[in-house]
Structure formats: C-alpha cells, structure tokens
Amino acid sequence: MIKTIPILLAVLYGLAMYRFSVWRTGRELDEKSTVLADPELVEMSNKMAHALDLARIKVHIYEIEPVNGLAAPDGRIFITRGFYNKFRAGEVTADELASVIAHELGHVALGHSRRRMIDFSGQNAMRAALGMVLSRIIPGIGVWIANGLTSLLAAKLSRSDEFEADAYAAALLTKAGIGIAPQISLFEKLDALTQTGGGRPPAWLLTHPHTKDRIAALEKMKLEWER
C-alpha cells in the first residue's frame, strides 16, 4: 500500500492538472479572441460546412502574433491574429488559410484536441510515476530515463495526430471543392519563411512533423484517390 501511494498521488496530480489546464486554456481563449468575420474566409468556411452538412463552422481569431492555428479542447477553432495578418498582407491565400481551418477541424473531429490536453497533464503524471518507479530500480538516472521515455511517447503520439489531421483536411478540402493544392503550397511557404525569416520558424511548424514528410503523405494520398 505504502508503495502505491506515490503513484496514486501522481495520478491525482495529473487529473488536477488536466482540469486546471482545460479551465485556464478556455479562459485565456475567451479573453483574447473574437469571431472571424472576414467575408472571404467566412465563404471558405461555409464551403467546408456545406461539405460536412453543417449549418456553419465558427472560426475565431486568437489575438496573438505567432503564426498558428489551434483547436481548443472544447472544439472551438482558432487562427492567430498573426496568421490572419499574413492573409491580409497577401502572403497567404484564403484557400491556404482554409487548409489550416480544415486541419484544426480534423483535430476536433478525431478527438485529438481533447486528448492532447489529457496527454499534456497525463505526461506530467507519467513522468512523476515512472520516475519514482525507475529511480528505485536504477538510482540516479531513473528519472532521466523516465523523462526521455515520456517525451518520446508524446512526440510519437502527436506526430501521428498531425498526419491524421492532414488526411482529414485533404478529404474535406477535396469534398468542398477547394482541393489539396493549398495545403501543399502553404507548407512550402511556411518552410521558405523558416529558411529566410532569420531563424525562428512559425509555431505552427514547430509543433508539427517535417514539412517534406507531410507533403509526401498528401501527394501519396492524392495518387491513390486518382487511381
């Protein structure tokens, strides 16, 4: 019993972190977001809503600069003000922004956005529990191994999420008559931005697998569909 108490505590800690993270994320987004009303982009989201048999898809603007798109645990879709500004400046097209919205919709539809929040707090619990167990077996480096294992698992999980969301987006964009070309051109643009923009890649790329792999996966899918 004594031995299981630390693990139990770690699990409870994980649960508390989860509730807190969901609450904090929701509040932060409520305070710093507005409904996306740009007519060109609303038309794009209407096309996708139509393809999904929905009345409409509500998209929000999250008032931060880093170029990013995100799906909240409650299912709301956000693009950042920084991303929208790139559209206004003509650096990103409406179709390309639609591909980001489609990708985030994929995360919601496939249950990633909720699970990711669980992953995040679950990771903390797993790190703690595994660390405690491993450091008893291998004193000293047990914690270090626990950290490594947890990060590796998390990276693998999020990587497959990204490919799944890309595939969902590709299917949706095709059905909506937008096609997957903007998905590919956006990846290429963001990649170029990383190379020439003086180092710092957009956040949207940092949290995602390598662009080349994503483009390759899309092109493979396209070939299969056209067969």
> Which residue number, 61 or 101, has a Cβ lying nearer to Zn ion?
101
The answer to whether the CB of 146 falls within 8 A of the CB of 130 is yes
d(CA 95, CA 219): 18
Mention every residue, 6+ apart, whose C-beta is less than 8 A from residue 174. 180, 225
Beta-carbon contacts of residue 10 (< 8 Å; ≥ 6 apart): 125, 128, 129, 132
Q: Which is nearer to Zn ion, 126 or 203 (CB)?
A: 203
Q: For residue 6, what is the DSSP state?
A: H
Q: Which is nearer to Zn ion, 10 or 78 (CB)?
A: 78
Q: DSSP of 126-154, one letter per residue? A: HHHHHHHHHHHHSTTTHHHHHHHHHHHHH
Quote the least distance from Cβ 186 to Zn ion, whole Å.
Answer: 13
- The least CB distance from residue 209 to Zn ion, in Å, is 9
Which residue, 162 or 191, has its beta carbon nearer to Zn ion?
Answer: 162
Residue 76: φ, ψ to 5°: -80, 145
Binding to Zn ion, residues 160-189 (CB under 5 A):
162, 165
Residues 145-164 touching Zn ion, rule: CB under 5 A, are: 162
The distance of closest approach from Cβ of residue 129 to Zn ion in the complex, given in angstroms and rounded to an integer, is 28
- Binders of Zn ion among residues 102 to 141 (CB under 5 A) are none
- DSSP string for 101-116: HHHHHHHHHTTHHHHH
Q: How far is the CB of 112 from Zn ion (least distance, A)?
A: 8
Please report, as residue ranges, which positions from 68 to 107 form the binding site for Zn ion (by CB under 5 A). none
* Least distance CB 159 / Zn ion (angstroms): 10
**# binding residues, Zn ion (CB under 5 A):** 2
Could you tell me the smallest distance in angstroms from the CB atom of residue 166 to Zn ion? 8
Cβ neighbours around 28 below 10 Å, total: 13
| 67 vs 165, beta carbon nearer Zn ion | 165
Rank residues 165 and 215 by Cβ distance to Zn ion and give the closer one: 165
Q: Which residues bind Zn ion (CB under 5 A)?
A: 162, 165
